[in-house]
Structure 1
Amino acid sequence: MPSLPVSQGHYRIATRLGDLIFTAGMTPRKDGVLIRKGKILNGTPVSDYRACVELAVQNALQAAQSQMTPGERISRVLNTTVYVAAEEGFEGHSKIADLASDHLFARLPEIEPGARTAVGVYTLPGNAPVEIALVVAVQSP
């Protein structure tokens, strides 16, 4: 099992209120190290960013699961926010976000998609190309 994401500052990777879990923004870090740095570039196929987007999603799921008790499951993904650090003129933010949605719902096929926001930003922490935050609802057995 991959290691649990570690906060890069003074915050928790996820917080829980009742049956809702809010994750911090998760970048594509493996064992605390970004697997890719730099902006998402015009002219580069979106599929070239799949691995880093999927790792950011996986980190967000792990952060959410860290707040769950044995037997609980994610019953709904209420919101996915995808921050995209792209060069000027990039217009494929929703396609980057689609990579996140596709991976999320491949991992949780019984759950319907929730709301999603794709936001273009100038930079992200550590020069990450993408950052993903989730809001999920959990259900006890």
Structure 2
Amino acid sequence: PASVPLRFLILSIGFTAALAFLPQPIKKVAGRLFPSKVVRKSHNTEQRIAELGYELPPAVSPKGNYVLCTRSGNLVFTAGHIPKPADGDLMVGKIGADLTQEDGYKAAQIVALNLLSTLKAELGSLDRIKRIVKVVGFVNCVDGFAAQPAVINGASDLFVEILGERGVHAR
């Protein structure tokens, strides 16, 4: 039905290194462990979002008995998110009936922005994202629609546009 939102799920957005969670990384020198300073490339992800003309929507609360993020080691796993832009008007419909493929691409971008908003609330700063590991998306579409990957590219393209190499992921 037209009232069913497009649904996307990102299963694992995480970090490739535990450096984001260690107060001081450790290095091994001559068989001994010493705290070390880490030289990192400087990121200003939120500034990049603004420069590109995007706006992070407010972080949302879960609508059931679950959390939006959970950490396991150095990974952060996110719950499924829906396309609700900063203005709060949920994007609903079925691609191929009520919505075009381009509408779906835009919905995937909105979902990606919602995920970034959730991660910002969890991590305190989007600059702590070391890497998007994997994106999995579900598209509400008519039978016979075969361009789901092109729709989900909306999220993938946005992650790369905002995060650069940190946004390149598996799908």
Q: C-alpha separation between the residues in 2 aligned to 1:2 and 1:18?
A: 27
The normalised TM-score by structure 1 is 0.70
Residues 11, 43 of structure 1: alpha-carbon distance in 2 compared, 3 angstrom cutoff? closer
Identity %: 27
Instruction: From the two aligned structures, give the one with the greater helix fraction.
Output: 2
Counterpart secondary structure, 2:150: helix
4+ runs of 1 displaced by more than 6 Å?
none
Q: C-alpha separation between the residues in 2 aligned to 1:51 and 1:115?
A: 20
CA contact (8 A) 1:22 1:64 kept: no
Counterpart secondary structure, 1:37: coil
Within a 5 Å distance, the mapping from 1:62-141 to structure 2 comes to: 62-69=117-124, 73-111=128-166, 113-116=168-171
Q: C-alpha separation between the residues in 1 aligned to 2:154 and 2:57?
A: 20
CA contact (8 A) 1:5 1:31 kept: no
Q: Which residue of structure 1 lines up, in the alignment, with residue 114 of structure 2?
A: 59
Q: C-alpha separation between the residues in 2 aligned to 1:35 and 1:92?
A: 22
Question: Which runs of 5 or more residues in structure 1 are unaligned?
Answer: 117-141
Corresponding letter in the other structure for 1:99: G
Instruction: From the two aligned structures, give the one with the greater strand fraction.
Output: 1
RMSD (Å) for aligned C-alpha atoms: 2.5
CA contact (8 A) 2:120 2:126 kept: no
Corresponding letter in the other structure for 2:76: I
The normalised TM-score by structure 2 is 0.59
Residues 71, 92 of structure 1: alpha-carbon distance in 2 compared, 3 angstrom cutoff? closer
Counterpart secondary structure, 1:16: strand
Residues 72, 43 of structure 1: alpha-carbon distance in 2 compared, 3 angstrom cutoff? closer
CA contact (8 A) 2:68 2:118 kept: yes
CA contact (8 A) 2:81 2:115 kept: yes
Q: C-alpha separation between the residues in 1 aligned to 2:86 and 2:63?
A: 12
Counterpart secondary structure, 2:166: coil
Report how many residues are paired.
116
Q: C-alpha separation between the residues in 2 aligned to 1:74 and 1:82?
A: 20
How big is each residue's C-alpha offset from its partner over 1:99-124, in whole Å with a ceiling of 9 and x where there is no partner? 110011111113252211xxxxxxxx
Which one has a bigger Cα radius of gyration? 2
Question: Which runs of 5 or more residues in structure 2 are unaligned?
Answer: 1-55
Residues 37, 55 of structure 1: alpha-carbon distance in 2 compared, 3 angstrom cutoff? same
